[in-house]
Structure 1
């Protein structure tokens, strides 16, 4: 069973219960919940479901906000989220009513809708963590749409005579805007879950913007590219300010005083303190969950630790084939934990059976099988001893038994020693691990036997020739490297013959 490389490293998510608590604590959703509970039969909404302007001060006051323009904006934003997530149900009026109602209602024949509590409000307190997260994801989609929406000074200037919107006047491409933000969040996700990334630390906004603009093969950005990076930073600053209240990111905004302090090139200073003034952003644990959910929906392969816990051994070994080392161990421990100590023999048998094969992915499966067996207790010994005579598994079985000081372990035949050496190097080549470590493995294995290259080319392993060619490239001793290349030629001749 050949494994496919996942598009992204696996992410370690918080439990659904923890994520649900984070979702409920997100400022925007928390405000939406409070307004949904505050709304009543007398609450007046416009025909489009928005809270009428006359009621915004009272809504802001209920949220503990000042009854000013900012407070009204926050209240309006929270109200829209409550409607978008089903915390409130708004019904448009069937018949418009003319004139003012005397209480600050709409004028000019505009009608008001009615509002009732939505079913989802009860789910936030009485539902499961999955219910809460589903509602939060709906909220994320709504906020995401706001973050990618165009900015304009006067909406009336964009409306044509026939009532349609003049999108050309907006200079806005909704698909391109969404694609850009998807790419940014995808890069931020990758840098967060990658072992080489900042991990839990924040990322400077200039670096994130540059990851979208500067070509990988460009050593020194041009002035034009730097200008594009600056424009992307300003764009992202606005978008992250919109996204932060839903709990997807922690964001330290761009210091607006920099707009008057920048030099002619508009590029940030190299000084670390100055770079932080250009904005810092990090995905929250809830943000990792949300971005991954969006990627999965888009068809992106975005694995998570624990995905393979309930799978069979074949799917486990195929799934972790190209995971980083720490993720391999974490996923394997979860899989073994499902079996428990009582099922150690069964787990070992399943792993050993799944690691057999002569396909290209088999060596790496056997390597991960060996690593998994190292986490299994002595209860697995009967299953391991059962494969001592197996040509593919006998070598790793002897290693496992010897590491535990088991008695009566039969010495391996010389052919098995060479076969295991080839299989081990083939697995490491497939894994594309650290080059120095691989070179040390090659030199260590070949140095254990004085006539290694005279014998190893005869090994009946599908990867013998490829392994010997790699040993010829990697070995630091020129004489040994030459012997490896000669042995590779013999192995290919033997295989073709």
Structure 2
């Protein structure tokens, strides 16, 4: 039986057809496709497939962009993406090795085979092309800012590559780490549209987990990382990977040529945290980052992954899923099976005395609640089973079945210990809901602790110790601790 725990929280991905539509509507990708169709006119290009000055201006006009530095810049980015993804094919002219005058064409661009797949292919075809383009954009985002070098050259200086503190492998690894952390935070978010503050994302990569108060040096690193991330997310947003609210320009210090502050950043109020940047992965971004992590060998579960797996794998995984995703996973698993055989498989997989067994039985009970009356024979078959008889009676009662035999006191208390053990394995012990459960159980049964310590369950002592920590009444808590001692002594003997 699999006891492996997922390394990342599960996610619910959008359908591939919907993701493909998102890809086609991403601004940069849409522009690339539009220019690829424009290339039906056979566009003359320079070395490497770059658009010549005249054609670049025409491309900007075709994209309804202004023919200025920004407009032609956007057009050049879209054209490069079209070339990189195969939406455009470049045919070099004969004699390409000969010296050509500046501005002379060295080849011709025409629509590539990939362009046809955008309209005639499957959603998987569209997503494969988009993923290829995304990798190009990620490489651009990890590239250094060459602005200083351009200024050096413009001023007649020498090209000094050593002045750039940049290692391509380190930068790519850092960006992967940022996207991985963002994936984790988005997966754990309470709402799909919930964004992550840029300072929190930067801190997640820099501030050590065991550091209570970040030092000034650490805070400076976080600030520098934020500015780098601001640049990178501005690059990644047009391809549809992230939804990004940039850092408010009014909060960025302006420095003179000597590095002295000429305008300080504005003060930050608690309610203004969004001014420091907010980011989240789009549904397309969640799909893309997960695909990259799977390629890297990282376990990144998604709802539906377990539909073809056995009941043991399902019950082993569900305790680590948030409630809504656990139900969605169970529904997909059940949809592929008939109710009666599914119930029998679930009940069989729920047995066991290992540490995770109580959580499997709780997951089994929750999954069986989604099965209709056709599963009744399977539940009646286990009424005398010490581990399953209690949950079987609960299911039968909830489904209005008749002729349910009364459980013994031993079975009632065994089920109580098992249920608490499962809850303690999945919940925060400080949760009010769990404290209320403990208090309610003790209040319902006279002599509760005297009965429970005798229960032959592997987790009895641990459950009683937890009840001693959780029960708000000091006298009851003390009784629980005494009962735990008795249970542990009984087990040792």
TM-based fold match above 0.5: yes
**Comparing 210-219 with 20-29, which one deviates more in the overlay?**
210-219
Give CA deviations for 1:403-457 in whole Å, capped at 9, x if unaligned: 2332211111122112111111111121134532222223333443323332323
**8 Å Cα contact 1:268/1:275 also seen in 2:** no
Q: What is the alpha-carbon root mean square deviation over aligned residues?
A: 2.8
Deviations 1:374-427 (A, max 9, x none): 222222212111110111100101111222332211111122112111111111
Is the Cα–Cα contact under 8 Å of residues 244 and 251 in structure 1 kept in the other structure? yes
Please tell me whether the aligned partners of residues 254 and 264 of structure 2 are also in contact (alpha carbons under 8 angstroms).
no
What do residues 325-362 of structure 1 show as CA deviations (whole Å, max 9, x unaligned)?
Answer: 222122212222333xxx22222112111111122211
Query: Structure 2 residue aligned with 1:243, among 204, 227, 236?
Result: 236
1:422 is matched with 417
Does the aligned pair in 1 maintain the 2:250–2:265 contact within 8 Å?
no
The superposition leaves residues 248-272 of structure 1 with CA deviations (integer Å, 9 ceiling, x where unpaired) of 1122222334335899996763326
Moved more, 138-147 or 2-11: 2-11
| Structural mapping, 1:171-186, within 5 Å | 171-186=165-180
Aligned counterparts of 2:189 and 2:417: Cα–Cα separation in 1: 29
1:466 & 1:2 partners in 2: Cα distance? 23
Report how far residue 234 of structure 1 moved.
1.5
> How many Å apart are 1:458 and its aligned residue?
2.9
- Give the equivalent residue in structure 1 for 2:307: 309
Task: Tell me which moved more, 247-256 or 269-278.
Answer: 269-278
Contact preservation (8 Å) 1:205, 1:233: yes
Question: Contact between 1:355 and 1:366, CA under 8 Å: does it hold in 2?
Answer: yes
Question: Which of 399, 404, 407 is 2:402 aligned to?
Answer: 407
Count of matched residue pairs: 481
Q: How does 1:101-250 map to 2 (within 5 A)?
A: 104-105=103-104, 112-153=106-147, 154=149, 168-195=162-189, 199-250=192-243
Does the 8 Å contact 1:29/1:246 carry over to 2? yes
1:93 deviates by: 5.4
Residue number in structure 2 paired with 1:455: 451
In structure 2, the gaps of 5 or more residues are 154-158, 256-260
Residue 476 of structure 2 is matched in structure 1 by 480
2:109 is paired with a residue whose SS is strand
Q: Deviations over 1:260-290 (max 9, x none)?
A: 5899996763326644333332222111211
Aligned: 1:360 with 2:359: no
Output the CA distance in 2 between the equivalents of 1:186 and 1:97: 44
Secondary structure of the residue aligned to 1:392 is coil
Find the counterpart in structure 1 of residue 365 from structure 2: 370
Asked whether the equivalents of residues 10 and 304 of structure 1 are also in contact (C-alpha less than 8 Å), the reply is yes
Q: Give, in whole Å, the separation in 2 of the partners of 1:462 and 1:266.
A: 63
Aligned match of 1:325 in 306, 323, 326?
323
Q: Quickly say closer, same or farther: Cα 1:330–1:273, change in 2 above 3 A.
A: same
In the TM superposition, residue 140 of structure 1 has moved relative to its aligned partner by: 0.8
**Aligned positions of 1:50-129 closer than 5 A:** 50-92=50-92, 95-96=95-96, 98=98, 100=100, 104-105=103-104, 112-129=106-123
Query: Which deviates the most, 33-42 or 408-417?
Result: 33-42
Aligned-partner Cα distance in 1 for 2:97–2:162: 35
- 2:20 aligned with 1:14, yes or no? no
Question: Could you tell me which residue of structure 1 aligns to residue 258 of structure 2?
Answer: none
Tell me the SS of whatever aligns to 1:250. strand
Q: Would the aligned equivalents of 1:150 and 1:170 in 2 still touch at CA under 8 Å?
A: yes
Change (3 A) 1:450 1:27: same
Please tell me whether the aligned partners of residues 402 and 409 of structure 1 are also in contact (alpha carbons under 8 angstroms).
yes
Q: Give the conservation status (yes or no) of the 8 Å contact 1:3–1:321.
A: no
> Which residue of the partner structure matches residue 161 of structure 1?
none
Cα distance, 1:219 vs. partner?
4.8
TM-score by length of 1: 0.88
Q: Secondary structure at the match of 1:44?
A: strand
Distance verdict in 2 for CA 1:453–1:309, change over 3 Å: same
- Inter-partner Cα distance in structure 2 for 1:475 and 1:277: 44
The residue number in structure 1 matching 2:268 is 270
**Counterparts in 2 of 1:414 and 1:273: CA distance versus 1, 3 Å:** closer
Counterpart for residue 300 of structure 1: 298
SS at match of 1:270: coil
Q: TM-score, normalised by structure 2?
A: 0.89
Question: Quick check: 1:2–1:361 contact (8 Å CA) kept in 2?
Answer: no
Q: Is 1:2–1:359's contact at 8 Å kept on the other side of the alignment?
A: no
Instruction: Give the C-alpha shift of residue 32 in structure 1.
Output: 0.9
Counterpart-to-counterpart distance in 2, 1:423 and 1:171: 57
Task: Check if 1:386 corresponds to 2:384.
Answer: no
Whether the 8 Å contact between 1:370 and 1:396 is mirrored in structure 2 is yes
With 38-47 and 399-408 compared, the bigger mean Cα shift is at 38-47
* 1:196-246 CA distance string (max 9 Å, x none): 5x6413333333333333444545544433332222221111111111110
In structure 2, distance between residues paired with 1:98 and 1:83: 23
Q: Is the 8 A contact 1:184 1:208 kept in 2?
A: yes
